[in-house]
């Protein structure tokens, strides 16, 4: 059965303190791995798509990487506005694009 596990569940950082979030997955055939950001009371907001092992994507202070078993979201020199829950999701179904399996998320708090 497809499974997505995110760690840690919560992360508290000082402004400027870099860190990494982990997303490990077990799927029969990965067709895409996604990172989303979710603010309280809002829907998830797209960050990155990764398709194959070795791929990397960057956006401002965020960088996502992918291996055959896990993905990392690196936050470099975070600012308070980076505080959010970061969700990882996988697309495993070959037929129903958008039928994602999400992890439970990592709640990140960045303090000034």
Partner 1 sequence: GAGVSQTPSNKVTEKGKYVELRCDPISGHTALYWYRQSLGQGPEFLIYFQGTGAADDSGLPNDRFFAVRPEGSVSTLKIQRTERGDSAVYLCASSSRGQPSGGGTGELFFGEGSRLTVL
Residues lying near partner 1 in the complex (CB under 8 A) are found at: 4, 32, 34, 36, 41-46, 49, 51, 87, 89, 91, 93, 95-105
CB-nearer residue toward partner 1: 98 or 112: 98
Instruction: Provide the β-strand partners of residue 109.
Output: 12
Q: How far is the CB of 91 from partner 1 (least distance, A)?
A: 7
CA distance 12 to 59: 21
Q: What angle do CA 32, 38, 44 make, to 5 degrees?
A: 50
By C-beta, is 33 or 75 nearer to partner 1?
Answer: 33
CB of residue 108 vs partner 1: minimum separation in angstroms?
15
Q: How far is the CB of 48 from partner 1 (least distance, A)?
A: 8
Q: Which is nearer to partner 1, 92 or 110 (CB)?
A: 92
Q: State how far the Cα of 107 lies from the Cα of 30, in Å rounded to an integer.
A: 25
CA 47-4-50 angle, 5° bins: 35
């Amino acid at each position: 059965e497809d499974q997505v596990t995110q760690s840690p569940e919560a992360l508290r950082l000082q402004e400027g303190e870099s860190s990494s979030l982990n997303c490990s997955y077990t799927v029969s055939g990965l067709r895409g791995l996604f990172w989303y950001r979710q603010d309280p009371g809002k829907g998830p907001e797209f960050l990155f798509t990764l398709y194959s092992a070795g791929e990397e994507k960057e956006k401002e202070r965020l960088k996502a990487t992918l291996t055959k078993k896990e993905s990392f979201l690196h936050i470099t020199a975070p600012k308070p506005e980076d505080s959010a829950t970061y969700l990882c999701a996988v697309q495993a179904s070959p037929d129903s694009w958008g039928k994602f399996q999400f992890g439970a998320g990592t709640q990140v708090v960045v303090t000034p």
